[in-house]
């Protein structure tokens, strides 16, 4: 099932998501499957559950855009446990469509997370994958990438969005 993506302005995007405690259930597997489907439909490389209106600590990532099945990643209750270096590049978010901003982030990031069965694993990513780990973990903490840009640029985006909301072009 393809969920519509929740856009900036909805409270669920700025709330801390809840820890998942039940694993290996049909419900969780279905949610993961639906999240991949929704992410591919929206042409994203990552999607966090709050972006489909589900306030749970779950994110999916596929930096190959569905080209390489082994690149599909499911992060449940992820935590960033190490970061190193810096990278500067453009970042966007499915919840803030059409906007892209330059964001400086660590270059190498290690996350600790659980899989669908509840097994804990650690994984290190570089460049785009490192960025995805941080972006998605931020989502689960109620944080959007625009909190990493200058207040001036953030206000400009907020103002543009308010205009779109008034014109009913943002829902
Ligand atoms: Zn995002």
Structure tokens at 117: 């069965």
Active site residues: 136
Alpha-carbon distance 21 to 124, whole Å?
24
Report the C-alpha gap between 157 and 114 in whole angstroms. Answer: 34
Q: In angstroms, what is the span from residue 52 Cα to ligand 1's centroid?
A: 11
CB under 5 Å of ion ligand 1: residues: 93
Output the CA 13–ligand 1 centroid distance in Å. 9
pLDDT tens for each residue of the chain, 171 residues long = 999 999 999 999 999 999 999 999 999 999 999 999 999 999 999 999 999 999 999 999 999 988 998 899 999 999 999 999 999 999 999 999 999 999 999 999 999 999 999 999 999 999 999 999 999 999 999 999 999 999 999 999 999 999 999 999 998
For the record, the structure tokens of 150 come out as 């200058």
Q: Residue 93 Cα, ligand 1 centroid: separation in angstroms?
A: 4
Q: DSSP class of residue 12?
A: G
d(CA 91, CA 89): 6
- Distance from the CA of 139 to the center of ligand 1, in angstroms? 7
Alpha helices in 18-146 (DSSP H): 26-41, 127-140
State in Å: Cα 109 to ligand 1 middle.
17
């Amino acid at each position: 099932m393809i969920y519509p993506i929740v856009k900036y302005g909805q409270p669920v995007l700025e709330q801390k998501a809840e820890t998942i405690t039940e694993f290996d259930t049909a419900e969780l597997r279905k949610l993961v499957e639906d999240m991949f489907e929704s992410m591919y439909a929206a042409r994203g490389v990552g999607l966090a559950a709050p972006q489909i209106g589900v306030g749970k600590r779950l994110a999916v990532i596929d930096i190959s855009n569905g080209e390489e099945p082994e690149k599909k990643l499911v992060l449940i209750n992820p935590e960033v446990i190490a970061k190193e270096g810096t990278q500067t590049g453009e970042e966007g978010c499915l919840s803030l469509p059409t906007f892209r901003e330059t964001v400086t982030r660590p270059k190498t990031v290690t996350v600790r997370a659980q899989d669908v069965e509840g097994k804990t694993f650690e994984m290190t990513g570089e460049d785009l994958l490192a960025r995805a780990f941080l972006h998605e973990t931020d989502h689960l903490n109620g944080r959007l990438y625009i909190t990493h840009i200058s207040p001036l640029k953030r206000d400009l985006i907020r103002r543009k969005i308010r205009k779109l909301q008034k014109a009913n072009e943002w829902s």
